[in-house]
Structures are given as structure tokens and as C-alpha cells.
Amino acid sequence: MSYERGPSFEGGVALPWGFLAGAVRAGIRPDVDKLDVGILYSEVQCTAAAVYTSNRVKAAPLVVCQEHLADGRAQAIIANSGCANAATGEQGLADARAMAERTAAKLGIRPRDVLVASTGVIGTFLPMERVRDAVSRIELSPAGGPDFARAIMTTDTRPKCNSGRCGQQGEEYALWAVAKGAGMIHPNMATMLCFIATDAPLAQPYLAACLREAVDVSFNMIDVDGDTSTNDTVIVLANGLAGGEPIDERHPAADAFRSALTDCCVRLAKAIVADAEGATRVIECTVEGAASPEDARRAAREVVRSLAVKTAVYGCDPNWGRILAAVGNSGAEMIEEKAALLLSAPENSAVYLYRHGAPVAFDEAQVRACLAGREVCIRVELGLGEGAATAWGSDITEEYVRLNSAYTT
């Protein structure tokens, strides 16, 4: 009944039944030679849901998405990289609408069934002539997923995709998902886009609830640099071509679909962190025994956000006091004497660093081994209640600074 990860994306996973995709290079940034406009399309109208950035500055495409998704239906997504179309006023809004209209005309569907997403530099206008031309040149095919994934990349070094199946024999559904991340990543979403396609039949309210829940434990629990972008969008399209009754909370496959969607989002969230700008390591922080679930989320997020923690992990430095300081700084309830800190790497046993309000003598070599791998696991035990949460962050390196000090130039 659980979500099984399919073969790796790079191996060429097909889109779920009825979905087509494609991408071309429009040259939105003339200096960057990559695919930059892509379309994801379903041959039939889909039940759809989305989650957007919490930033008060919302990019024009998000405004269009919200309007077009008012009925919970959609059939296509047009996405571009290189320009965020954010902070662009009336002109930006007109451009986002024009993207939807041009795409609808090409596909022979209603503009309001087209969703729009943009990522890239804030405060510049889209070169609409090039975008329109690109839309007309895009060729859609069931094998177009990889190109679409590349078209939404900015400073990502690799496409991030995921696919799998859930449900049981006779009632099995395919999920396919793509994301981009790299920078401006902070709990409450970030310069990240994620598009999920499934052939499962879904009741819209249940789909929206499942997506909200999945985002809360995945994309809202990752941090690259503490900045929340203006363009964050997660969209799921469910075309129902696998057949059967629409899945709602009483459907036999309800739990399987919900956990598959969550699993899929968690994998992509971790993939975003692993490919963060300049990052060398993934920091996983699990907080247990918090006074409330919200306290656990807060503490876990603050640990993976802390620059002091990120730089210490980068340097393989067992400077655990910075972790404790981050927890103390999170606003979560905490009593020093009840708190404990442990460090481990996947497959390794955990080492106590701090317990009963005082440092624990530890084997430095063992701790350094925990810090040396690609994934560093921090466990915080607060000893106050039942609240638990996990967050993921990247380390911060000189390369992050280099990349970000010369982004538009």
C-alpha cells in the first residue's frame, strides 16, 4: 500500500497516463544556454490544488494561479526560469496572463485551465516576444518530463524528480513529481517550484488537504538560507485516467494516496536541500519530546536555519553548543536540565553530546565520523512532552557566498 520509489528519473520515467510535457530554450536570459520554458499538459481536465509562498510580495504568476484555480480544475502548467516576474506590477500581471492565454491557444483549452509559474531574478520583466515564440515551438510528448524538469532549473546543478506508484492491485495510481530549488529556501516555502502529476481520481477537497499536509512536513521543513521567496508554488494535477471513484477521506485508497503524496514531497524536499547552492552536506534535525508539535517544528527549523550550525557542519566541527543555542533561540519551550543532544550519521549509532544540562565527554573521532558524511543527523530530546518534528537544511560554504554575490551580474 505504500509509495514505492520508481526507477530514477534520469533513467527516463514516463509521465502518468494522459500527461505530456516539453520544453525549449526561449533565451529569457540570453547569457544562459539552457531550456527555460516548459509545459506540462494533461489530455483531460484535472482536479488540481496548490500551495503558495507566505511572502507578502507575491509574484504575478501566483496571482494568475489563484484566479485560475478558484474552481479547483486545471489542465496545463506553463513554467519558465530566468525571470521570476515578481515585483513587476500591472505589466507583470498582464505578462503572466498572456503566458496562460498563449498556452491555452496552443493547446486548444481555456486560459483559465492553464496555471503559470516563474522563477529567477526578481524585478525584471519577461521578454514576452521570446516567451510567445517559445510556447509555439514546444513539442509535447509522454517522454518530455526530463526536458520540463531542466527548463525550471536556475542554480540547481541537477533536475529533481521522483515517481512511483501507490494503491493496490487493480486500483493502482502513478505519481510523478518535479521540483527546483537551490537558493532562497526557508521553511514556508522558497524559490522553489514543485509540480506533481498523477492519474489518480481525486475529490478536490481531499486533494487540497493532502497537499497541505504533505507540504507542511516537507517543503515547509527545509532551509537553505533562511530566505522565503516571492514565487514558491507547489501544484498537483490529478487527471483521474487510472479510473475508479474519486478518492476522498472515506475511499479505501485514501491513506495510501495521502502517504504517497507526502513521501514524494519529502523526497523532493530533501533533494532540494542536497542540491542547495554550494552545499556539501544535508543536515537532518529531529526534535522529540517538545511541549507541543509546533515547538518541535520551530526548534528543528531553527537548528537547520542557524548559520552558526551550518558553518560548523561544513567544517566538520563538533561545536554542539551552537545547536543548543539555536534550540534556545527558537522560541520553543526548553529546560536545560531536561534537554539532550545527539549526533549520528545514517547507519551509525548516535553519540550523546549534551545531557542533563551538561556536556557529555565524547569520543572526538566518533563525532567527527558523524560529521564527515553527506548526511549529518542531529537529534534533540527536550523531555517535556510528545511534540516531534524533522527538518532538513544544507550547510553554508564559500561557494554559496560566491554564487549569491554575483547572481544577476
Sites of contact with a copy of itself (CB under 8 A): 54-58, 84, 86-92, 121-125, 183-184, 225-230, 305-308, 311-312, 314-315, 317-322, 324-329, 332-334, 336-337, 353-354, 356-359, 396-398, 400-402, 404-409
Distance CA 67, CA 112 (A): 8
Q: How far is the CB of 93 from a copy of itself (least distance, A)?
A: 10
Angle between helix 293-305 and helix 307-314 axes, rounded to 10 deg: 60
Nearer to a copy of itself, 172 or 227 (CB): 227
Nearer to a copy of itself, 230 or 390 (CB): 230
Nearer to a copy of itself, 120 or 201 (CB): 120
Nearer to a copy of itself, 171 or 275 (CB): 275
What contacts 366, CB < 8 A, 6 or more positions away?
351
What contacts 223, CB < 8 A, 6 or more positions away?
185, 186, 187, 273, 301, 304, 305, 391, 392, 393, 394
Q: Which of 191, 228, 230, 262 is catalytic?
A: 191
Q: How far is the CB of 307 from a copy of itself (least distance, A)?
A: 4
Q: How far is the CB of 329 from a copy of itself (least distance, A)?
A: 5
Q: CA dihedral defined by 372, 376, 381, 387, rounded to 10 degrees?
A: 180
The DSSP H or E segment spanning 196 is strand 193-198
Sheet holding 351-355, edge to edge: 222-223, 387-394, 282-290, 375-381, 340-344, 351-355, 358-359
Q: How far is the CB of 137 from a copy of itself (least distance, A)?
A: 28
Distance CA 121, CA 83 (A): 5
Local structure of residue 71 (DSSP, 8 states):
T
Nearer to a copy of itself, 123 or 243 (CB): 123
Q: How far is the CB of 295 from a copy of itself (least distance, A)?
A: 11
* 3-state secondary structure at position 402: helix
**Residue 191: active-site member:** yes
Q: How far is the CB of 247 from a copy of itself (least distance, A)?
A: 35
Counted residue by residue, the chain has a size of 409
* Owner of C-alpha cell 527545509: 222
Distance CA 296, CA 226 (A): 18
Nearer to a copy of itself, 86 or 237 (CB): 86
Catalytic residue numbers read: 191
